[in-house]
Amino acid sequence: MLEIPELRYLIFLGCVVPYRISSYEISARKVLDKLGVELVEMPEFNCCGFPLDPVNHDAMLTLAARNLCLAEEQNLNIMTLCNGCFSVLNHVNKDLKEDKEIREKVNGYLKEIGMEFKGTITVKHLVHVLAEDVGLEKIKEAVQKPLNPLRVAQHIGCHIPRPAKYTGSDDPENPAILKDLIKATGAECLDYMDETECCGNPIIGVNSQIPLQLARDKLNHVKAVGAQALITVCPFCHMMFDLHQSRIERAFNEKFGIPVLHYTQLLGLAMSFSPHELGFKELRVDATKLLNQLGS
């Protein structure tokens, strides 16, 4: 078997990023390129499988496994931008590697399309690539304009810390990975109540009231500590806080006006990219005030 080269990944875009959240992809590609990370495009892929798990577990397993097989053919590890894609692909990859019974069942399905899961790659999320493979030191070196006066809050989402058995998170109750990445830009990362709580978005198609209440609570907690922006690493969470923020404001007759930035946009600013290069105009909540303060 060929040795898998360092800092070279197959980028798994998933569906939400190309559907609506291009600012995440634009900014991620910019900063990763400058940090010396090589992204290889997938020749083709399908939905990770996440939305099908509630309907048919086997269908989720095979859709995920098909993507894993495509990566095995390229002999490259996968890097995802989306927490949901990471969760499913990582979980299925580990289960198929470790559980012979599941592997045989899934390979039975895959045989129909001429594929076989072998178990030769690993799945990472962007934050793992940045914090563990590139490393905080290298990121700090790449920072040209430290974001010193800026005070932000993080929303890491559910599927990077949980379930710990699969994610290998150091501390799922208080995960440090995104906080450390934020601090590397020079910005201050503020603690707030219920930081690791869900954004609610996965059930918005079934019930919209509960997710809006959850997101409202979170925005209130973020506002209470005086954060100037909320930093996300998942397109689905981003959608909840950025795209739906005005809807939440209308529903509860409250005003937040909290810009929601992808971590790669925050890092990009610190690396001297312009807001235009980082897709800032795609954001729904206006970030002009914050950018003016930084002189970007």
Partner 1 sequence: MSGEKETQKKELGERSVIKASEMDPSFKYKISKIPGAEKIMLCFQCGTCTADCPIARFSDSYRPRKLLRMTQLGLKDRVLSSDVIWLCAACFTCVDHCPQDVGIASIIRAIRNLAVKEENMPIVYRDLASTILKSGYAYKISELRLRKRKEQGLPLLPKANIESVAKLFNITGVSKTIEKERA
- Binding of residue 54 to partner 1 (CB under 8 A): yes
- Binding of residue 86 to partner 1 (CB under 8 A): no
For partner 1, the binding residue among 162, 238, 244, 262 (CB under 8 A) is 162
For partner 1, the binding residue among 9, 27, 53, 234 (CB under 8 A) is 53
Give the pair of three-digit tokens for residue 205. Answer: 């198609």
The one-character DSSP state at 155 is: E
- Binding of residue 259 to partner 1 (CB under 8 A): no
- Of 226, 271, 243, give the one whose Cα is nearest residue 23: 243
Give the pair of three-digit tokens for residue 208. Answer: 């919209």
The minimum distance between CB 6 and partner 1, in angstroms, equals 22
Query: Taking a C-beta distance cutoff of 8 angstroms, is the pair 229, 259 a contact?
Result: yes
Amino acid at 276: H
- Binding of residue 51 to partner 1 (CB under 8 A): yes
CA-CA-CA-CA dihedral for 125, 127, 130, 135, to nearest 10: -120
- Binding of residue 16 to partner 1 (CB under 8 A): yes
- Positions in 203-222 near partner 1 (CB under 8 A): 203, 205-214
Cα–Cα distance list, 92 to 66, 112, 122 (Å): 11, 19, 11
The minimum distance between CB 284 and partner 1, in angstroms, equals 16
- Kindly indicate which of the ranges 109-117, 121-129, 219-227, 262-270 contains the residues binding partner 1, using the contact rule CB under 8 A: 109-117
Which residue carries 């990077």 as its tokens?
160
Give the pair of three-digit tokens for residue 285. Answer: 């909540």
For partner 1, the binding residue among 4, 8, 34, 59 (CB under 8 A) is 59
Nearer to partner 1, 91 or 187 (CB): 91
Nearer to partner 1, 255 or 292 (CB): 255
Buried b (16+ CB within 10 A) or exposed e, 58-95: eebbbbbbbbbbbbbeeebbbbbbbbbbbbbbbbbbbb
- Binding of residue 164 to partner 1 (CB under 8 A): yes
Nearer to partner 1, 52 or 187 (CB): 52
Nearer to partner 1, 64 or 139 (CB): 64
Neighbouring C-alpha atoms within 13 Å toward the C-beta of 210: 9
Residues of this chain that bind partner 1 (CB under 8 A): 13, 15-16, 18-20, 22, 25-26, 29, 41-47, 50-59, 62-63, 66, 101-102, 109, 112-113, 158-159, 162-165, 172, 197-198, 200-203, 205-214, 250-252, 279
